[in-house]
Amino acid sequence: MAAPLAPDERDAAVAGLIGWAVSADGKAIARTFKFGDFVEAFGFMAKVALAAEKIDHHPDWSNSYNRVEISLTSHDAGGVTRRDIDLAGTIDRLAGA
């Protein structure tokens, strides 16, 4: 289990991503994705699910019609680690943005 990133490292890493923000408590990063319809949103979620399973690091998320809200944290470390940053980058690529 890796230790959470220090706040400055975490913020610098998030600044290198597209559209992700640090949560109010500093322990997670979040982004909301909006798609054309439910099928597109769910197709995206299916791709993310397979990628997450492959790296054994999983998102906390919710879906409402064409919106997918994703929060990433490393539960075992109790904060944001490099694994969250890497998964966010993968998710961005899968979203095509």
Cα separations in angstroms, 41 against 2, 28, 47, 63, 87 = 31, 22, 10, 8, 18
Binding mask 4-43 toward ligand H2B (x if CB under 6 A, else -) reads ----------------------------------------
Give the interface segment with ligand H2B, choosing from 9-17, 26-34, 37-45, 51-59 (CB under 6 A). Answer: 51-59
Decide: is 56 part of the binding site for ligand H2B (CB under 6 A): yes
Would you say 72 and 82 are in contact if contact means Cβ atoms under 8 Å apart? no
How many C-beta neighbours within 10 Å does residue 27 have? 18
Nearer to ligand H2B, 29 or 41 (CB): 29
